[in-house]
Amino acid sequence: MKTIVKISLSVVAGSVLFLTGCNNTPQKATEVKPAKMVSEESLGLRKVDLYSENVVTPDETKYSTEYAGSGKVIERAFQDAPPMIPHDTEGMLPIQIDNNQCVGCHMPEVAVGMNATPIPKSHFTNFRPHHKFDGNKFEKSIDNMKNEIAIKEESTLVNARFNCSQCHAPQSVGQLVENTFSPDFTSKDGASKSSWSGSKLTEGLDTILGE
């Protein structure tokens, strides 16, 4: 019992000392530097605080209204990135199974006449696993012990490329945020041309070709 009383007494004495000490000389340990303040206005893309919903006006997306052929082709974002659509796509989107106007101008056999860049070889190459289909049931047709993917050049546009706007977006004027990314193009004309063709498509891949 005695010891407990002694301990609590010394605690009280200690805190009295501490308090008086505090009054006279500020203790080092209590000095906390104020945290760096981050303003609400700097948190997001909008430049107003989080409570001013009524004054928030998003930047307008201004798609190109240039006719096909008169628009300005912009640099690719990086080597072999899908190029942006430089022309108006009014009335062309969404692409439908029985209405894909893009192929009407960009298929290789018509593109030259239309002054349009032909759909590249990669879009005529199937990268998907092969299957057998008996009209009822799908079955894998390749050896499981080998690579799952067989790359095959097709004479028709591969279905995976049919929905052009899934990868190719129309250009829009203006810049919502500053872009500090600058690409290193691995091929000389990589900013304007795709290099992903021929043997480049399969280089270094352990795949069953043309099956």
Strand partners, 75: none
Beta strand 150-153 with 125-126: parallel, antiparallel or unpaired? Answer: antiparallel
Tell me the C-alpha distance between 44 and 183, whole Å: 25
| One residue of 48, 63, 77, 101 binding ligand HEC per CB under 6 A | 101
114 contacts ligand HEC (rule: CB under 6 A):
yes
Q: Interface with ligand HEC by CB under 6 A: which range of 11-19, 36-44, 89-97, 141-149?
A: 89-97
CA atoms of 78 and 181, how far apart (whole Å): 9
What are the start-end ranges of the H helices in 75-185? 101-106, 108-114
- CB of 64 within 8 A of CB of 92? no
Nearest to ligand HEC of 83, 150 (CB atom): 83
Near ligand HEC by CB under 6 A, which window of 41-49, 142-150, 158-166, 202-210? Answer: 158-166
* Burial degree of 127 (CB within 10 A; 0-12, 13-18, 19+): middle
Site string (168-197) toward ligand HEC, x via CB under 6 A: x------------------------xx-x-
Stretch that binds ligand HEC, among 5-13, 24-32, 77-85, 202-210 (CB under 6 A): 77-85
Using CB under 6 A, list all residues that contact ligand HEC.
68-69, 73, 80, 82-83, 85-87, 89, 92-93, 101-106, 114-117, 119-120, 122-123, 157, 161-168, 193-194, 196
